[in-house]
Amino acid sequence: MTASTEAAPLVATTSPAYEAAQALTHRATASHAVAPVAAPQASATQHLAVTKADRKAVKQGLKRELAAAPKGMKAEGKSQLVALILSFFLGVLGIHRFYLGYTGLGILELLTFGVFGILSLIDFIRIILGTLKPKGGEYAKKL
């Protein structure tokens, strides 16, 4: 083994998927080091079966991790009411877009006066309906 494979990982983690991947790596390197030379077909078939089983275990571990992960992240401190008020009073300036995290569209609305009021009216309706959400996910406070 080289020094890079023996070194500890830079990021310490305790996730089951990470541990399964490490176990898979160690088993794969250990099986290559002590593989018998007398029966190459039997060991290759056996090694292939172990590898498939290990891959399946890692895949199932990753699926469990993804299922346990939080689904809908809430944008920190973004309120639908504040976005609605900004859109109503300062919609043609695009201030609500800056507030929601859409800087590029905010600049577009600022330079074109809300694309002559049409885009700002559409944004106002979308904020009321809840379809125009913050860039980070959901509103922290809804109407």
Residue ranges per domain, the chain? 12-68, 71-143
Residue with tokens 């090694």: 47
What pLDDT shows up at residue 40?
52
What pLDDT shows up at residue 47?
54
| Residue 138 DSSP SS3 | strand
Q: Say what angle helices 80-90 and 118-129 make with each other, to 10 degrees.
A: 160
Q: Token pair of 130, please?
A: 């809840």
What pLDDT shows up at residue 9?
47
What pLDDT shows up at residue 107?
94
- Whole-model pTM: value is 0.50
End-to-end CA distance of the chain: 60
What pLDDT shows up at residue 70?
67
Per-position DSSP letters for 73-112, written without gaps between them: PBPTT-BHHHHHHHHHHHGGGTHHHHHHT-HHHHHHHHHH
Q: Is the pLDDT of residue 127 over 60?
A: yes
What pLDDT shows up at residue 12?
47
Residue that wins the pLDDT comparison between 25 and 117: 117
Q: Is the dihedral of CA 36, 39, 45, 49 positive or negative?
A: negative
Q: To the nearest whole number, what is the mean pLDDT of the chain?
A: 75
What digits encode the pLDDT tens for the residues 40-93?
Answer: 555 555 555 567 888 888 888 878 887 776 666 665 788 999 999 999 999 999
